[in-house]
Chains A and B, each alone.
Chain A
């Protein structure tokens, strides 16, 4: 059996009286690309944010290599965060740093790498996403697609095991969606474990190893992409997929 990197068990989360997650279970194995789809308000982003502890879940377990990060005190949070990277819809590049500094800061502060090593590593990944030439630019000088590629490089520079993508292309112009998706597709081919909340059904169909359809805080349907996207059983999923076309 493949090695489980992230396993979610009966995860629940409420904001006040609004029960956003009502018991989520799923596993992501090493090298898997899990695409999480669903209409807005279904809890996709909250699920991702819980996995990265940007939100504190109310109940359930988040297992990282079998260890529950919510209760197991032996899991170091900075280490966990470095190993589980996150790419945001709104990019969130550090506004006070240029492109290179954005990719260097985390390595030095969190992983304790030297400046020279961090810079070398950062340039390697910036090269990979095609942004090395812009190393001196400030975030506000970049387009959305460029920013998102820098964010991916920044995340990769931390040598993560898993990357969480929270609607990485939703804030982008249609022309720029392609450049970000192709970077993500390359990552998937290299065997990076990825959890992707997305509305890009084409990407899910082509790249995902597992598709999870969420509806009203539960997983309504999950399985291989051909099965879930090609032959939906759930009524909600059918109407959701129709609306995506």
Chain B
């Protein structure tokens, strides 16, 4: 048996490396897919919430819209207002005892994280939509786009770029908070660590190892998201196409050049 801290860490990694690895994969799977489906839920909810009443909408449709808004409000309040660990218990055991559904643990975890994240995402995306200048909606409507077209091709691309930092937050929160789903025996990283730690009673060493794994996961994810943001912003420079004499001529104008020209103009 090892005697030092690092000795134990090495020993446990050797002994339970596979367990930690599969736990990490499950954690990543449920965090990523939960965030993704939560994002989709939030997107749909946010679009429904921003629909305005068009001219001559019937009483029935108005009622339907009102009902949808009420359900959405309840959904957001309930799932933001209760802890995810409790939601997991209620949904997992509730569906088992009263609906007779024995959900696969991983599927249940993805479902719970999706619904929970969806409630937060709905608010984040609504915030993103609100942050877009009203003129963008007006211009899109003024050329005849429907609400759906305006949303999908003009507003949401800009809104999503603006909320990407918050979405990244949600993903990181989900990577960490998926650990609470060990209460419904999902074999994610924390659950695996619990069983590993119990064998040799080496709690500190095992949880130190998974702390490092969680940390590496979240740092990597935030780096990737920064990169995606940069990519979405596109290049700072643009190309002027064509000239009188040569239609293939292209002049690249960079931000720096532009500023230089501005300066020259101003000093004149």
Binding site for B on A (CB under 8 A): 52-54, 56, 70, 73, 77-82, 85-86, 88, 90-98, 105-106, 109-110, 132-138, 141, 151, 154-155, 158
- B215 at the binding interface (Cβ < 8 Å): no
In contact, A110 and B136 (Cβ under 8 angstroms): no
Q: How far is the CA of A93 from the CA of B133 in the complex (A)?
A: 11
Nearest to A142 among chain B residues (CB) is: B238
Given contacts A54-B142, A132-B241, A136-B241, contact A92 B135 (CB under 8 A): yes
In contact, A96 and B241 (Cβ under 8 angstroms): no
- Chain B hits for A141, CB < 8 A: 238, 253, 258
Given contacts A134-B238, A138-B234, contact A94 B142 (CB under 8 A): no
Task: Name the distance in Å between B163's Cβ and chain A's nearest Cβ.
Answer: 14
- Chain A hits for B18, CB < 8 A: none
In contact, B242 and A132 (Cβ under 8 angstroms): yes
Binding site for A on B (CB under 8 A): 54-56, 133, 135-136, 138-146, 149, 153-154, 157-158, 161, 234, 238-242, 253, 258
Contact of B161 among A77, A96, A110 (CB under 8 A): A96
In contact, B146 and A94 (Cβ under 8 angstroms): no
- Chain A hits for B241, CB < 8 A: 132-136
In contact, A137 and B238 (Cβ under 8 angstroms): yes
Given contacts A135-B241, A138-B238, contact A85 B153 (CB under 8 A): no
Contact of B143 among A82, A91, A95 (CB under 8 A): A82
- Chain A hits for B139, CB < 8 A: 86, 88, 92-94, 151
Q: How far is the CA of A155 from the CA of B139 in the complex (A)?
A: 10
- Chain B hits for A96, CB < 8 A: 154, 157-158, 161
- Chain B hits for A82, CB < 8 A: 143-144
Nearest to B139 among chain A residues (CB) is: A92
In contact, A78 and B145 (Cβ under 8 angstroms): yes
- Chain A hits for B154, CB < 8 A: 94, 96-97, 105
Task: Name the distance in Å between A141's Cβ and chain B's nearest Cβ.
Answer: 5
- Chain B hits for A90, CB < 8 A: 133, 135
Contact of B144 among A56, A81, A88 (CB under 8 A): A81
8 contacts between A and B (CB under 8 A): A54-B141, A81-B142, A92-B136, A95-B158, A110-B145, A133-B240, A133-B241, A155-B143
Q: How far is the CA of A245 from the CA of B54 in the complex (A)?
A: 43
In contact, A81 and B141 (Cβ under 8 angstroms): yes
Task: Name the distance in Å between A176's Cβ and chain B's nearest Cβ.
Answer: 13
Nearest to A154 among chain B residues (CB) is: B143
Q: How far is the CA of A138 from the CA of B157 in the complex (A)?
A: 14
Task: Name the distance in Å between A71's Cβ and chain B's nearest Cβ.
Answer: 8
Nearest to A56 among chain B residues (CB) is: B55
Q: How far is the CA of A54 from the CA of B133 in the complex (A)?
A: 15
Q: How far is the CA of A133 from the CA of B251 in the complex (A)?
A: 10
Q: How far is the CA of A188 from the CA of B129 in the complex (A)?
A: 37
Q: How far is the CA of A73 from the CA of B242 in the complex (A)?
A: 47
In contact, B136 and A95 (Cβ under 8 angstroms): yes
Task: Name the distance in Å between A69's Cβ and chain B's nearest Cβ.
Answer: 9
Q: How far is the CA of A110 from the CA of B133 in the complex (A)?
A: 22
Q: How far is the CA of A184 from the CA of B143 in the complex (A)?
A: 19
Nearest to A54 among chain B residues (CB) is: B138
- Chain A hits for B158, CB < 8 A: 95-96
Q: How far is the CA of A158 from the CA of B158 in the complex (A)?
A: 23
In contact, A105 and B238 (Cβ under 8 angstroms): no
Nearest to B250 among chain A residues (CB) is: A136
Contact of B149 among A54, A109, A154 (CB under 8 A): A109
Task: Name the distance in Å between B159's Cβ and chain A's nearest Cβ.
Answer: 9
B135, B144, B157, B253 — which one has the most chain A CB atoms within 10 A of its CB?
A: B144
In contact, A85 and B239 (Cβ under 8 angstroms): no
Q: How far is the CA of A33 from the CA of B46 in the complex (A)?
A: 41
Contact of A106 among B133, B145, B239 (CB under 8 A): B145
Nearest to A69 among chain B residues (CB) is: B55
Q: How far is the CA of A110 from the CA of B149 in the complex (A)?
A: 9
Task: Name the distance in Å between A13's Cβ and chain B's nearest Cβ.
Answer: 14
- Chain B hits for A106, CB < 8 A: 143-145
Known contacts A94-B136, A95-B136, A158-B143; 9 further A-B pairs (Cβ under 8 A): A53-B55, A77-B144, A79-B144, A88-B142, A92-B133, A92-B139, A109-B149, A133-B242, A136-B241
- Chain B hits for A109, CB < 8 A: 145, 149, 153
Nearest to B138 among chain A residues (CB) is: A54
Q: How far is the CA of A141 from the CA of B254 in the complex (A)?
A: 10
Task: Name the distance in Å between B152's Cβ and chain A's nearest Cβ.
Answer: 9
Task: Name the distance in Å between B134's Cβ and chain A's nearest Cβ.
Answer: 9
- Chain B hits for A132, CB < 8 A: 241-242
